[in-house]
Amino acid sequence: MKIGIIGCGNISETYFKSQNLFNNFKVIACADINIEAAKTSAKKFGIQYQSVEQILANSEIDLIVNLTIPSAHKEIILKTLNSNKHSFSEKPLAMSFKEGSEIKNLAIEKGLEVGCAPDTFLGAAGQKARELIDQNTIGYPKLGSFNIMSHGMEHWHPNPDFFFKPGAGPVFDLGVYYITQLVNLLGPVNNIISTSSTAQKERIITSKPRSGEKIIVETPTTLMGVLEFNNSTKIQYFCSWDVWKHMHNNIEIYGLEGSMILPDPNFFGGNLLISKKDEKWETVNTESMLLGVPNQDDHGVMRANYRGIGLSDMISNINNKVIPRCSIDLSLHTLEIMEGILTAAKTKQKYILKSSCDQPKLLSETEINKLKIN
């Protein structure tokens, strides 16, 4: 499939390069509101750059990959659908559940597909964990936790203001990876209990070049609570940018017959730890799986990065008329969970989910082999 990219910022290089990992798409043009950014990417990858209007009107292109900032996602996806093209977007699908629902309605009306990142749950760690849970390795998963804790973004990001404004915060910015992974493992969420806190009303930037400038914090920097899944699993969460140091794991699942610890769901690979009842932890290494082989140097650590598998899977499923794994229903449900965490904290009431989705199908090594360029 011939595709176009709108949004030539930070993450775009990963998508331009993903056409060398998977065999069913080719990027033929790119665009950006900042024409210089589009020109730079076009030159680097030997393709044409166009204005946003031109790329949407380009009749050679069947699908637009949307890599703009979250506040532009809805506008670009709607324009893509109105140009009769499929859309695959970076996360989150939109800024609110209401916006996301508008996207879904238009996609249905137009008979077009909308897919959305993250696709990291399709990596080796997420798929192996899912397989082991489905095989009852730890028994029925009754309880668990996920933890995202650090001391914010103002010490490294050159323009960290947006992290502390509505639409960001630790749940919208990072929670999306954890929640998507948990829906992959356990299915949809039924209800949410939540409480919030903002340790500091102002943050001082310590990164360059704006060191010393103040940020007014406008969204909670800590959210804690419980997600109850339709299958009755209760997952305690702690998402915070108010913590200097901690020793919690990213994701833990407690079944009736044992426990499982998962690696950071922002990545494709990593080891799982499994214990049967109170026996010793056993390590499950996923590096020999197709989407677990480390292929990228991340600040001196080799990691598996196969961003693009969600797009490749969606294209393959459009051709076969099957629902893609990174489906609009999954991303809309995840969006409602994130919004629900904030709403439940604000209203001090349990939030009951309106949306649902099917658990994405397992992605087999045979299916990956058909898509992956070796």
Residues binding ligand NAD (CB under 6 A): 6-12, 32-34, 37, 52, 67-70, 72, 76, 90-91
Residue with smaller CB distance to ligand NAD, 158 or 212: 158
- Closest CB to ligand NAD among 110 and 157? 157
Compute the distance between CA of residue 331 and CA of residue 340 in angstroms, rounded to an integer: 14
Cα–Cα distances (Å) from 251 to 18, 85, 181, 366, in that order, read 27, 37, 9, 27
For 115, the 3-state DSSP assignment is strand
Q: How far is the CB of 151 from ligand NAD (least distance, A)?
A: 19
Nearest residue relative to ligand NAD (C-beta):
9
Nearest-approach distance from CB 299 to ligand NAD, in angstroms:
13
Q: Which is nearer to ligand NAD, 172 or 351 (CB)?
A: 172
* Least Cβ distance, residue 32 to ligand NAD (angstroms): 5
Q: Which is nearer to ligand NAD, 32 or 264 (CB)?
A: 32
CB 305 within 8 A of CB 21: no
Sign of the CA dihedral with 277 first, then 282, 288, and 294 last: positive
In whole angstroms, the minimum distance from the beta carbon of 130 to ligand NAD comes to 22
Which CB sits closer to ligand NAD, 67 or 112? 67
**Residue nearer to ligand NAD on the CB measure, 12 or 331:** 12
Q: Counting Cβ atoms within 10 Å, is residue 325 exposed (0-12), middle (13-18) or buried (19+)?
A: buried
> SS3 helix, strand, coil % of the chain, rounded to 5?
35, 25, 40
**Structure tokens that stand for 288 in this block:** 């020999």
Within a 13 Å sphere around the CA of 264, how many CA atoms are in the beta-carbon half? 8
Least gap, CB of 10 to ligand NAD (angstroms): 3
Q: Phi, psi at residue 265, to the nearest 5°? A: -75, 5
Minimal distance in Å, beta carbon 217 to ligand NAD?
Answer: 19
Which residues are paired to 189 by β-bridges? 229
SS3 sequence of 233-284: CEEEEEEECCCCCCCCCCEEEEECCEEEEECCCCCCCCCEEEEECCCCCEEE
- Nearest approach, Cβ of 286 to ligand NAD (angstroms)? 21
Q: How far apart are CA 116 and CA 7, in angstroms?
A: 15
Q: How far is the CB of 107 from ligand NAD (least distance, A)?
A: 18
Cβ proximity to ligand NAD, 261 vs 309, nearer residue: 309
Q: Residue 244: which residues within 8 A CB-CB, separation 6 or more?
A: 151
Cβ proximity to ligand NAD: between 7 and 255 the closer is 7
